[in-house]
Amino acid sequence: MSSVLVISGSPSRTSKTERIGEHVAQRLATSGRTADHLRVRTLPADALLGADTRAPAIADAIGRVAEADGIVLATPTYKAAYSGLLKAFLDLLPQFGFAGKAVLPLATGGTISHVLAIDYALRPVVHSLGARHAVQSFFLLDKHISVVDGQLSVHPDSAEPLADVIEQFSKALDGVPHSTVLGRTA
Amino acid sequence: MSSVLVISGSPSRTSKTERIGEHVAQRLATSGRTADHLRVRTLPADALLGADTRAPAIADAIGRVAEADGIVLATPTYKAAYSGLLKAFLDLLPQFGFAGKAVLPLATGGTISHVLAIDYALRPVVHSLGARHAVQSFFLLDKHISVVDGQLSVHPDSAEPLADVIEQFSKALDGVPHSTVLGRTA
Amino acid sequence: MSSVLVISGSPSRTSKTERIGEHVAQRLATSGRTADHLRVRTLPADALLGADTRAPAIADAIGRVAEADGIVLATPTYKAAYSGLLKAFLDLLPQFGFAGKAVLPLATGGTISHVLAIDYALRPVVHSLGARHAVQSFFLLDKHISVVDGQLSVHPDSAEPLADVIEQFSKALDGVPHSTVLGRTA
Amino acid sequence: MSSVLVISGSPSRTSKTERIGEHVAQRLATSGRTADHLRVRTLPADALLGADTRAPAIADAIGRVAEADGIVLATPTYKAAYSGLLKAFLDLLPQFGFAGKAVLPLATGGTISHVLAIDYALRPVVHSLGARHAVQSFFLLDKHISVVDGQLSVHPDSAEPLADVIEQFSKALDGVPHSTVLGRTA
């Protein structure tokens, strides 16, 4: 059984990014696959910013990354790049903390003019962590995401391509036999 | 009288990056110029990660950026990019928070193989903040920085080029008449 | 008297990028400043692609870069980056071929979603060439550029910010006393 | 039977990059897989720089890309990025010319300080072309490559990791059932 960890990096409690992360986790948690969601903003701030990897909640979060077969990174776009909050957590992972894993990079943003930030800024970080397979990324316009009565709604122009990248990520997760992945990362 | 703010983004109390930031501040604080040093790790972690720009210490730090004519960014290199801690602070600045300002990007790192991170990762963020003039950046090898009896020592191979970039930054600060800068950023 | 060289990197004879390059050259050629325009597509293709820097037309073009105080780079956006044609010429310049110079990076493209390519892709190349001052870049939508009866027309939404970046570049050219620039690059 | 196309982008006839491309092609041409090598410098220069995709040799090269299941990109590092020559060819491909394909990015360079160019500069271009799976990239120091009596020799420090990335690329090529790949790119 494969497992996925969604890591969302918005500082806001009412974040659309976080809602998308939750949505993706639910979509991926099917047919014998578990999907969990780590909201970086819920980690203890002092330990996170002080890089205290021995703090129990931080150590636990790092352990959840280590155990996952697939990682989804969901970040808002700030200052033409990923959020500092997300990066502060990635900074605490071991040097090749994504080795053997499939990774799906997702970003949200107010304007389509930020779309390249995900491939120019986030993807090199993902590869420095040694990811086995970082699939095509996806950028969601904020205005395509709405929450009505607690229910997430994604505009059709974004919903279909989002479903596609989730499907591709799903195949990337399963594409290589599990034993091979273990062998390669051992 | 022009003023400079050094912003250092290492999570460590014993950081070499922070020591270099202090060194650069001292070098720039000459002949009628003030130079201050903001260590991002000393800001209240909850407010920083929660993006609470109304928290007094955060609001004060943002104000210090607004008032400075020049900004020095000093960051360790983590995962092939700037630190999440530094970015978490930059994320709180107004959209064009560096408008009219000269900026000097500095990074430290364990291996020369990270040297391009500063121009490929940090520089685009600096320009998204609207910097007037981001001068040539500088990368310092960790092993070229040592602290003996509380005194910082920079290896000659790095000391001379570091002095050069400080000199260039100094000229960029003063190169444009102050009234012009004010006019452009008004 | 300062001098500017516009380098345009579109492979097309009817290129809007090239027309914008011409427009910028004309705007900059004022009050005792010369402005020249190098269309990379007019260089001998064999010598350019074979990196033959001794071919007279290539050697002449490299010499024009060396003599200019300011460089404007005008490129279409292809595959989320600058054109290969422009880069093929930049590849022939000496390692610090932009030392002491002010540089204005301009790009054109069909969609605003490519706007970050200029800062993430082109700007690091400009800095690897040792530019003294690369000012804020500018991205022009193709549809904002039209040529009617041989006359270039820029949509008002782009014309005003374009005039602003030309003005900023103009100040960067003149901002540092010429003797200082000479001293720094000697 | 899967097929691979190595595309090398050095302007030099005696290029180490090209030799590495040849080496990788030979390593991949095993057990029912074909591997071909396209040296961009051998394409007609006028047609390449003029973006004339109807010129027979250019049309043929574009067709070879379309037919390949896997692409290896081999480029020297110039001015902190890929060669203009390689990019000039990639510029001629259709918008999603790498859809459904596995891609291995390789670079050579004189100093380890250029290693990030491959992930920050080349990888975003690969993804703009819609690659299915761009595996971990590899950077080779020039001094680790030697040719003695026409025989390529790779320094042991580079030979082993190079063999690893070729192995990973090989798995990425075969990892997804061929019919699935066809289905996705149809």
Low-confidence residues in chain C, pLDDT < 70: 176-186
> pLDDT (tens digit, 9 = 90+) per residue, D72-108?
999 999 999 999 999 999 999 999 999 999 999 999 9
Rounded to an integer, the average pLDDT of D124-153 is 94
Q: How far apart are CA C125 and CA A112, in angstroms?
A: 24
Q: How far apart are CA B93 and CA D173, in angstroms?
A: 45
Single-letter amino acid, residue A148:
V
Nearest in space to D115 (alpha carbons), one of D160, D153, D81: D81
Contact residues on chain D for C93, CB-CB shorter than 8 A: 79
Contact B127/C136, CB-based, under 8 Å? yes
Out of B80, B115, B120, whose CB is closest to D113?
B115
What pLDDT, on a 0 to 100 scale, did the predictor assign at position B154? 96
Contact residues on chain C for B124, CB-CB shorter than 8 A: 116, 119-120, 123
Nearest-Cα residue of chain B relative to residue A84: B88
Q: How far apart are CA D62 and CA B101, in angstroms?
A: 47
Has residue D28 got a pLDDT over 90?
A: yes
> pLDDT (tens digit, 9 = 90+) per residue, B132-145?
999 999 999 999 99
Long-range contacts made by residues A147-153, C-beta under 8 angstroms, separation at least 24?
A: A147/A16, A147/A19, A152/A19, A152/A20, A152/A22, A152/A23
Rounded to an integer, the average pLDDT of A78-90 is 98
Residue B24 pLDDT grade (very low, low, confident, very high; cuts 50, 70, 90)? very high
What is the number of residues in chain A? 186
Contact A120/D116, CB-based, under 8 Å? no
Rounded to an integer, the average pLDDT of B35-47 is 97
- Chain B stretch 20-49, residues whose beta carbon is closer than 8 A to a beta carbon of chain A: 41, 45-46, 48-49
Contact D128/A119, CB-based, under 8 Å? yes
C88 vs D148, higher pLDDT: C88
What pLDDT, on a 0 to 100 scale, did the predictor assign at position A32? 80
What pLDDT, on a 0 to 100 scale, did the predictor assign at position D178? 37
Residue position matching structure tokens 């390689």: D86
Tokens of A170: 């799903």
Helix, strand or coil for residue A95?
A: coil
Put simply, whether A137 touches D (Cβ < 8 Å) is: yes
In chain B, where do the E strands start and end? Answer: 3-8, 34-39, 70-76, 102-109, 133-134, 138-141, 145-148, 151-154
Query: CB contacts < 8 Å between A and B, how many?
Result: 106
Helix, strand or coil for residue A130?
A: coil
Which is it for the CA torsion A106, A108, A111, A114, positive or negative? negative
Rounded to an integer, the average pLDDT of A86-107 is 97
Residue C20: how many CB atoms within 10 A of its CB?
26
Put simply, whether A134 touches D (Cβ < 8 Å) is: yes
Helix, strand or coil for residue A102?
A: strand
Q: Give Dmax (Cα) for chain D.
A: 46
Q: Name the minimum distance, in Å, from the CA of C107 to any CA of chain A.
A: 14
Contact A120/C115, CB-based, under 8 Å? no
Put simply, whether A176 touches B (Cβ < 8 Å) is: no
D38 neighbors D72 (Cβ within 8 angstroms): no
Contacts of D148 by beta carbon, 8 Å cutoff, 6+ apart = none
Q: What are the residue ranges of helices labelled H in chain D?
A: 16-28, 45-49, 56-67, 84-90, 117, 123-128, 156-175, 178-185
What pLDDT, on a 0 to 100 scale, did the predictor assign at position B157? 95
Nearest-Cα residue of chain B relative to residue D111: B113
Helix, strand or coil for residue D66?
A: helix
Most confident of the following: A58-72, B21-35, D1-15: A58-72
Q: What are the residue ranges of helices labelled H in B50-149?
A: 56-67, 84-90, 117, 123-128
D neighbour chains, 3+ CB pairs within 8 Å:
A, B, C
Nearest in space to A44 (alpha carbons), one of A34, A36, A54, A33: A54
> What φ, ψ does residue D86 adopt, rounded to 5°?
-60, -45
- Chain A stretch 107-126, residues whose beta carbon is closer than 8 A to a beta carbon of chain D: 116, 119-120, 123-124
Query: CB contacts < 8 Å between B and D, how many?
Result: 28
What pLDDT, on a 0 to 100 scale, did the predictor assign at position D150? 83
Contacts of C127 by beta carbon, 8 Å cutoff, 6+ apart = B119, B123, B136, B137, C134, D80
Query: pTM (2 decimals)?
Result: 0.93
Contact B136/C130, CB-based, under 8 Å? yes
Nearest in space to B118 (alpha carbons), one of B167, B172, B75, B72: B75
Nearest in space to B74 (alpha carbons), one of B41, B44, B52, B29: B41
Q: What's the gap between Cα D52 and its chain centre? A: 22
Residue A4 β-bridge partners: A35, A70
Nearest in space to C168 (alpha carbons), one of C77, C105, C116: C105
Contact residues on chain C for B136, CB-CB shorter than 8 A: 127, 130-132
Out of A50, A78, A86, whose CB is closest to B11?
A50
What pLDDT, on a 0 to 100 scale, did the predictor assign at position C186? 27
Nearest in space to D53 (alpha carbons), one of D92, D2, D10: D92
ipTM over 0.90: yes
Contact D45/C41, CB-based, under 8 Å? no
Mean pLDDT of chain D, nearest integer: 92
Put simply, whether D141 touches B (Cβ < 8 Å) is: no
- Terminal Cα distance for chain C, rounded: 19
Tokens of B112: 């020369």
CATH for D3-181 (3.20.20.10, 3.40.50.360, 3.90.580.10, 3.40.50.720): 3.40.50.360
Calculate the alpha carbon distances from A160 to A59, A156, B18, C8 in Å: 36, 6, 47, 39
Has residue B185 got a pLDDT over 50?
A: no
What is the number of residues in chain B? 186
Q: How far apart are CA B98 and CA B118, in angstroms?
A: 17
Tokens of D2: 């899967």
Lowest model confidence (mean pLDDT) among A10-24, A162-176, B109-123, D10-24: A162-176
Tokens of A158: 């974004």
Q: What's the gap between Cα C161 and its chain centre? A: 17
> pLDDT (tens digit, 9 = 90+) per residue, B80-136?
999 999 999 999 999 999 999 999 999 999 999 999 999 999 999 999 999 999 999
Nearest-Cα residue of chain B relative to residue D121: B120
> pLDDT (tens digit, 9 = 90+) per residue, A97-145?
999 999 999 999 999 999 999 999 999 999 999 999 999 999 999 999 9
Rounded to an integer, the average pLDDT of D136-160 is 94
Residue A144 CB-density burial (10 A; 0-12 exposed, 13-18 middle, 19+ buried): middle
Domain range annotation of chain B: 3-181
Mean pLDDT of chain A, nearest integer: 92
Residue position matching structure tokens 């980690």: A43
Residue B176 pLDDT grade (very low, low, confident, very high; cuts 50, 70, 90)? very low
> What φ, ψ does residue D112 adopt, rounded to 5°?
-60, -15
